[in-house]
Amino acid sequence: MEEETQPLKWEGKTSAQLPTARAHEVWPFLEDFCNLHKCFCLDTCYHVDGIPGQPGLIRYCAATVPSSSGSQEESVITMWVKEKLLLIDPIKRCLSYEVIDNNIGIKSYVATMRVFPIHDDEGERGCKIEWSFLCDPIQGQGFEEFSSYIESNLQFMVKKI
């Protein structure tokens, strides 16, 4: 019996459209790197180190979720990550960041988020957020499950913006 081999890296991309919001109106939500909890399903997100708006900035993000320990008692766990801003370009409306520490099994993760205007014959008609990632496979999770998690988080964000 042959063993299934996982790819060395997972690479994915998802996007969502905001038909009534313009790119310049949406970008500030992403650009405000340490306030992700305002438009994301997090309990907290705050500045840890570095200069706001500059590469090198580190944020801490956490969410409390039901435990899947299988016990009869209802319990919760706090999942957290520390992320470092690698690049931010307000002209191109994009930023990249990496996970530098966490308690959820991520070994290596780099993501890029971009906001694009959507144009038609009459001008700008909404915008699109694109979220791409490159990461090591995550133990206990499949690529499809992880990609679906990223997509559902983006859809949640779009509803909050």
Q: Which residues, 6 or more positions from 54, have their beta carbon under 8 angstroms from its beta carbon?
A: 85, 88
* Residue 51 exposed, middle or buried by CB count within 10 Å (0-12, 13-18, 19+): exposed
Burial level of 60, CB count in 10 A (0-12/13-18/19+)? middle
Per residue in 56-85, pLDDT tens? 999 999 999 887 655 556 688 899 999 999
CB 110 within 8 A of CB 134: yes
Q: What per-residue confidence (pLDDT) applies to 152? A: 93
Q: If the chain, 161 residues long, is cut into consecutive pieces of 10 residues, what is the mean pLDDT of each piece?
A: 68 96 94 89 93 96 79 78 98 98 94 94 88 94 93 92 86
pLDDT value of residue 73: 62
